[in-house]
C-alpha cells in the first residue's frame, strides 16, 4: 500500500475537503490508515512536502538555471551566499569544472533583474566564471519517482491546453496558502479556508481556476529522492544540432526516468543545449539509461553531471517580502 500511496500522491493530491479519504477509497483502505502512513513517511523524511507546484513564469517571475565555477576551498562559503537569496530553490554541487549549479528566480517587481542579481552573486562568491542557462523550450517537468516498480520505461508527455487568466488579489491570497506544506489531518485545507474567510467551494473554485490556467502545474507530493530509494540523479547534457532540438527533446522527455527536459542556450565554453534530468536507484542505472538515450537519439557529444552535495532544495515562496529585503541589503 505504501508504494502505491506514494506514487499516487506524487501524481496528484486531491483538492477536496477530505483528500486522504479520497486516496483511501482509491486504495481500498481507511482514511486513518492513510493518515498514519503519511505521517510516518513525513517523520522519516521520505515525504518532503505536499503543496501546489506553480509555473514561475506564469506568475511573472524571471528564472534561469545558473552554473558557477568556484575554487574547491571556497565551495561551502559560496553555496551559503547563493542559498541566502530567496529566489534560489535548488542548489547542488556537481562533478564538473562548473561545480555549483542552482536555479535562480527574481520577483516581477525586481529592481535589479535576473542578470544583475546573478552578477552580484558572482562577485559575492568570488566565482571564476558563470553560465546563465534560461529555458528556451520546455518538453517536460514532472518529478514522479516510480515507487511501485510498475511504471513503463516510456510515457507519452501530454501538453495541456490552458485558459488565460488575470490574477486578482484573491488569486494571490489563495496562492500564498496553496504553496504551504499541508498538515497531515483529515481536513488539511481547513486552516487556509478559515484564514482567508472562504468556504470550501469558493477556495477550491479558485484553486481549480489556477490549475486550469496552468498557473498551478499540479498539487502533489515531492519526495526526498535519496530517502525514497532513488540514490542517483544525473543532469545529462547534450549537444544537439539546432534543427533537431525539438524532435530529440520530445523523444528524451518520453523516458519515465527523465523528470525535467529543456532546450537551453549554448556558449563557446558550454556546447550543450539540451538538458535531461535522469533519476534512478543507482548510478549504474542512470548510466545505462543515458547510454540508451544516446543510442536512440544518435547523439555522441554529451555529458553526465552527478550531484554530490545538495546545498538547498525547497519550493520557491512566491509573493514573499524576502525578495525585496535581499535587494535592499545589497
Provide the annotated active-site residues. 90
Yes or no: say if 148 and 273 are a contact pair by the CB < 8 Å rule: no
The dihedrals phi and psi of 246, each to the nearest 5 degrees, come to: -70, -40
CA–CA separation, 54 and 57 (whole Å): 9
Task: Report the DSSP pairing between strands 232-238 and 274-280.
Answer: antiparallel
Q: Which long-range contacts (CB under 8 A, 24 or more apart) does 114-122 make?
A: 114/62, 114/63, 114/64, 117/85, 117/87, 117/327, 118/64, 118/66, 120/330, 121/68, 121/81, 121/82, 121/85, 122/68
CA–CA separation, 329 and 320 (whole Å): 15
Continuous H helices in the chain:
2-11, 19-26, 31-43, 75-83, 113-125, 169-178, 190-196, 200-212, 245-253, 283-297, 322-329
Give 169: exposed, middle or buried? Use CB within 10 Å, 0-12, 13-18, 19+: exposed
Between CA 9 and CA 15, with CA 11 as vertex, the angle to 5 degrees is: 65
Q: In the structure grid, which three cell numbers stand for residue 98, read together? A: 562548473
Yes or no: say if 233 and 225 are a contact pair by the CB < 8 Å rule: yes
Q: In the structure grid, which three cell numbers stand for residue 284, read together? A: 549504474
DSSP state of 96: S
CA–CA separation, 244 and 273 (whole Å): 11
Buried b (16+ CB within 10 A) or exposed e, 19-40: bbbbbbeebeeebeebbebbee
Amino acid at each position: 500500500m505504501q508504494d502505491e500511496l506514494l506514487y499516487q500522491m506524487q501524481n496528484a493530491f486531491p483538492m477536496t475537503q477530505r483528500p486522504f479519504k479520497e486516496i483511501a477509497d482509491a486504495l481500498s483502505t481507511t482514511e486513518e490508515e492513510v493518515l498514519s502512513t503519511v505521517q510516518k513517511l513525513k517523520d522519516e523524511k521520505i515525504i518532503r512536502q505536499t503543496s501546489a507546484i506553480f509555473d514561475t513564469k506564469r506568475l511573472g517571475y524571471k528564472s534561469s538555471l545558473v552554473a558557477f565555477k568556484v575554487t574547491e576551498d571556497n565551495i561551502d562559503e559560496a553555496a551559503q551566499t547563493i542559498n541566502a537569496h530567496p529566489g534560489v530553490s535548488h542548489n547542488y554541487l556537481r562533478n564538473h569544472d562548473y561545480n555549483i549549479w542552482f536555479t535562480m528566480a527574481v520577483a516581477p517587481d525586481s529592481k535589479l533583474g535576473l542578470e544583475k542579481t546573478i552578477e552580484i552573486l558572482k562577485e559575492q562568491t568570488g566565482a571564476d566564471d558563470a553560465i546563465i542557462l534560461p529555458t528556451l523550450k520546455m518538453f517536460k517537468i514532472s518529478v514522479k519517482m516510480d515507487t511501485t516498480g510498475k511504471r513503463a520505461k516510456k510515457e507519452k508527455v501530454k501538453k495541456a491546453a490552458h485558459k488565460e487568466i488575470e490574477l486578482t488579489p484573491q488569486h494571490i491570497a489563495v496562492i500564498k496558502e496553496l504553496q504551504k506544506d499541508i498538515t497531515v489531518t483529515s481536513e488539511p485545507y481547513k486552516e487556509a479556508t478559515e484564514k482567508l474567510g472562504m468556504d470550501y467551494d469558493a477556495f477550491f473554485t479558485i484553486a481549480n481556476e489556477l490549475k486550469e490556467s496552468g498557473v498551478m502545474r499540479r498539487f502533489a507530493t515531492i519526495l526526498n529522492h535519496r530517502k525514497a530509494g532513488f540514490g542517483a540523479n544525473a543532469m545529462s547534457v547534450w549537444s544537439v544540432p539546432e534543427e533537431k532540438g525539438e524532435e530529440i527533446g520530445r523523444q528524451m522527455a518520453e523516458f519515465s526516468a527523465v523528470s525535467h527536459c529543456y532546450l537551453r542556450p549554448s556558449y563557446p565554453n558550454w556546447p550543450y543545449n539540451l538538458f535531461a534530468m535522469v533519476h534512478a536507484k543507482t548510478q549504474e542505472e542512470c548510466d545505462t539509461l543515458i547510454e540508451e538515450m544516446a543510442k536512440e537519439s544518435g547523439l555522441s557529444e554529451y555529458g553526465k553531471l552527478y550531484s554530490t552535495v545538495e546545498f538547498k532544495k525547497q519550493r520557491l515562496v512566491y509573493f514573499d517580502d524576502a525578495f525585496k529585503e535581499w535587494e535592499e541589503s545589497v
